[in-house]
Structures are given as structure tokens and as C-alpha cells.
Amino acid sequence: MRSLGLIFIAVFLSACGTAPTNTNSSNTSNVNASPASQTLTVVDTPQRVKDLMASRGEQDSAQPALKIVEPAANSTINSSTVKLKLSLDGDLKGYKPHKDPATQTGNHVHVILDNQPYEAYYEIDQQPFELRNVADGEHTLRVFPSRPWHESYKNSGAFQIVKFTVKNGGADANKPATTNSGQQMSNVNSNANTAPTPEGKDMQNSTSGLVDPTKPLLTYSRPKGEYKAAESDPIMIDFWLTNAQLKGDGGTYRVRYTVDGGEAKYIDKWAPIWLSGWAAGKHTIKLELVDEDGGPVDNGSYNSTSREITVVK
């Protein structure tokens, strides 16, 4: 509420012509701006990403086809640790998930349990991946391949969703969510020193919504987490769409985004957008799938997702 108030004050001041001269919208340096008065503008893909694209040869036009081998669709798992196995196929053009140890970046797969923020899975054919402390109940798992800068591949076959159920899994409902990606085994009874350490993480408690995978579905992907230095401006919004074509792509749907509860804006073509002008601090990004009149399109509540990110300058 306080930040809304500040926006109104800023608008009022500029309407009266008494605003400082450095608040025009083309000024993206925001030297004197408070978080409340940020003005976001859609900008071109940043040069650093264009350079990365160019250095990757044909990979950007790959058509990766991802399959969820495990958990099997509609299976029941009697454990709170859910092992994930993927297979990658299709026209890869050199695309391969792998984290480069030097840069700590690389191609990876976004893995989404229910409607939680995604986890990154890098070594999909080298190391197992597990979701830990998964609560009893019905769940969905969504996966899709991503580039080092977290832009998803959007060809058909790239996205997969399965439903599964955890029964008597014994997850600790009181366990607090961990915020880092704890790459070591969470249990202490492991004596398998020779096994590769699984990638994975303790999950927050959640269950699936009443999601129908055959109906229009918006999957929130980015932004997520903390943004620093060159990555903090511009910041990419990216998402996956299933069974829904946007207005600008010949369909009727729209994706609505709202930052910090401000003015709603629309994305009418399925592609990432880059927003510049972020002030340091926490921000909330809401992505919604709506029909051509702006009405909500519900699918188990997944089509309206809010995430908090932190911008560090």
C-alpha cells in the first residue's frame, strides 16, 4: 500500500510540473529513483544474450523433445523422495544440458513440482535428480528444456506434464522450505559412496491443483530468484503455453503481466520479453492467462501465478 501511495505522489508531482527532471521514462539508470517510482520498458534482447546465441551455433533452432520416464504418468509413489528420469531426443543441433564448471551456467531443464518455482536439472543423463520431502497427495510435474539464460525451448514435444500421487510418503509437514539448492543427500543413512550424488532439493509442501493437461495452461518460468549485476537489467519474462494460442499468433488468448501490483500489460506473441528499468529491492511479478476480453482462464489455479524476485544493484 505504501508503494502505491508513492506512485500516486510521483504521478501527482509530475502532473504539476514539479517533478525532478530525471524522472522521464527513457532514464533507465534510476540513480535517484525509489523502488516505487520505477518505470519498466520493454527492450530488445540484451547484447550479452545475443552474443551467447551467436556463440552456440545452431543450438537455438534445435527442436528438443523431452520425455518424463519417471515418475510414470498417474503412478503412485510410497515415498516422499520422488526420483525424476528424463530422456532427451529430437533435432538437438548440439543442444545438451550440462553445467560448465567454470561459468556455472549451461543448458538445463526446468523442473516444476505443482506450481512451485522451477528447479534446474543439468546433468540429465549423468546424475539422477530427486524431489525430496514431497507431501502426500496428488501432484503435477512439468519439465521443458532451457537455454543458459533460462529461455525455454518452445517447440512441440519440448514440454511434458505428468500427474502422480504420493501415498504414505512420510514427508515432514513441518519442515521449513530450504532456499538453496542443497546438492548433497538429505538423508544420513546413505552408505553408497560410489553412487553419483543426485541433483535435487527439498520441496515446499504443496499438492497439485485440479489441472486438466488437455486444457489451456500457462506455465510460469521466469523471472525467478535473485538478479545481480548485468543480469539485473533487463530481466526476462518467459513462460510455456499449452493448448492456447495467443492473439498475435492467430489465437484468442493473451498473457497479462503485472509488476508490483501496478498497471497490467499484455503479451500477445509467445516469446520472451525483456523489461528494463528495475529498481533495487523486492518485486512481485504476476503472470495470468486471460481470454480476449481479459477474463481469467482457470486451470487448477496454475494460470495465475505470482513470484517474488530480488534485484541487487
When asked if residue 160 is in the footprint of Cu ion (CB under 5 A), the reply is no
Q: Per-residue DSSP letters for 178-224?
A: PSS---S-S-S----TTSPPPEEEEPPS----S--TTS-EEEEEES-
Query: Under rule CB under 5 A, how many of the chain's residues touch Cu ion?
Result: 2
CB 97 → Cu ion: shortest distance, Å?
Answer: 10
Q: Of the ranges 138-146, 153-161, 228-236, 302-310, which one interacts with Cu ion (CB under 5 A)?
A: 138-146
| Residue 226 parent element (H or E) | strand 225-228
Q: Would you mind telling me the total number of residues written for the chain in this entry? A: 313
Q: What are phi and psi of 201, to 5 degrees?
A: -170, 155
User: Three-class SS string for 130-176?
Assistant: EEECCCCEEEEEEEEEECCCCCECCCCCCCEEEEEEECCCCCCCCCC
Of 13 and 92, nearer to Cu ion (C-beta) is 92
Of 151 and 288, nearer to Cu ion (C-beta) is 151
Of 13 and 52, nearer to Cu ion (C-beta) is 52
When asked if residue 146 is in the footprint of Cu ion (CB under 5 A), the reply is yes
When asked if residue 221 is in the footprint of Cu ion (CB under 5 A), the reply is no
Q: Of the ranges 64-72, 91-99, 146-154, 244-252, which one interacts with Cu ion (CB under 5 A)?
A: 146-154
Q: Do 10 and 19 contact (CB within 8 A), yes or no?
A: yes
| Residue 51 parent element (H or E) | helix 47-55
Of 150 and 254, nearer to Cu ion (C-beta) is 150
Residue in the block written with cell 530427486:
130
CB 150 → Cu ion: shortest distance, Å?
Answer: 3
Q: Of the ranges 121-129, 142-150, 268-276, 281-289, which one interacts with Cu ion (CB under 5 A)?
A: 142-150
Q: What is the CA radius of gyration of the chain?
A: 21
Q: Of the ranges 75-83, 86-94, 149-157, 172-180, which one interacts with Cu ion (CB under 5 A)?
A: 149-157
Among 139, 150, 254, 283, binds Cu ion (CB under 5 A): 150
CA 204 to chain centre: 16
Q: Of the ranges 18-26, 143-151, 178-186, 196-204, which one interacts with Cu ion (CB under 5 A)?
A: 143-151
Q: Footprint of Cu ion on this chain (CB under 5 A)?
A: 146, 150
